[in-house]
Amino acid sequence: MSPASSRSNDPTPFAKMRRPYKVANAIKTWIVEQGLKPGDKLPHEQKLMELFGMSKGTIRETMRVLEAQGLIVTRTGPKGGAFINAVSEAMASSLLSNYFFFNELSVKDIHQLRCLLEPELVATLAGNMTEDDLARLEDNIKKYAQPSLDKEDERQQHIDSLQFHIILAELAGNELLGFIIRFMVRMLTDLTVYRSLYEPPNHELWEQGLKHQKDLIVALRDGRSEDARAIMHEHMEVAKKLMEGQEAKMERRFMLHAP
C-alpha cells in the first residue's frame, strides 16, 4: 500500500484490520497530506487503484467503508464521483451512540460527567452572553413554567428542560466541549423517554430544576462566574439524585409486573 499506508490512528491493531479498512485509513491520511477539504473530489477509481496498489474490488469496498463513516459522498452522472464530506454532528452522535448500544448507560453514568463539565461551561459563559442568548434560555423555560398536567405533558417537559442545556452547549465556544455536553444531554433525553423516567410525575424535580435554571440565568447575565458554577453544580447534583430515584422506581415497577 502506498501513501502513508503503514500509519493509522485507529486503535484496532493494524495487522488485524480487514484490507478495505486499512486502505480507508491510508486514504484518510492521504487526504490530510494533500490538504483536501469537504467538497473536493477524490481521484477516479483507476487512479486510486494505482495510488494504493489495490484491486478494483478492494477500492470499491473501501469507498463503501468511507461512505458508511460519513467521510465521503458518492454522486452519479457526468459530474459524479466520490467527494469528501464533513461528518455531521448528527452522524457523529449516531455512531457514538452505537458504541453504547450494548453497554447500557445509567443516569448516574451520564450525570457523573455532566457534574464535571457543565459547571465549568457556565462559568466561562457568565458575562459573555448576549441578550439574545439569554432570551433563548428564558423562552425555553416558558415551555415548562407551570407543573405538568398529565403524563404526556410531563414527558415533554423533561425533554424541553434538557433543551436548556443544549442551548448552553451550543454557546460553548469550544467545539469539543460543546459536542460532548450535547451528546450527553441527548443520551439522557433518549434514556428518559425509553425508560419512561418521567413516570410518575416528580414535582420536586420540576420545581428544583426550574429554580436552578432561573437563578442561573440571573448569574449569567450579571457575569457572576463562581455563582453560575455553584448553581449548575447544585442543579446537576439534585437532578442526579432525583433522576436516580425515578430510575429505581421504574426498575421496581418492572420487577413487580415481571412474569
75-133 pLDDT per residue, tens: 988 888 999 999 889 888 888 888 887 777 788 899 999 999 999 999 999 999 999 99
Task: Supply φ then ψ for residue 224, to 5 degrees.
Answer: -90, 90
- Residue 5's pLDDT is what? 44
Q: What is the DSSP letter of 136?
A: H
In order of their start, the domains of the chain are 14-84 (1.10.10.10), 90-257 (1.20.120.530)
- Residue 151's pLDDT is what? 87
Stronger pLDDT, 183 or 248, i.e. the higher one? 183
Q: How confident is the model at residue 257 (pLDDT cuts 50, 70, 90)?
A: very low
Stronger pLDDT, 200 or 89, i.e. the higher one? 89
Only one residue has cell 412474569, namely: 259
Tell me how far apart the alpha carbons of residues 26 and 14 are, in angstroms, rounded to a whole number.
11
Tell me how far apart the alpha carbons of residues 77 and 141 are, in angstroms, rounded to a whole number.
49
C-alpha cell at 159: 425533554
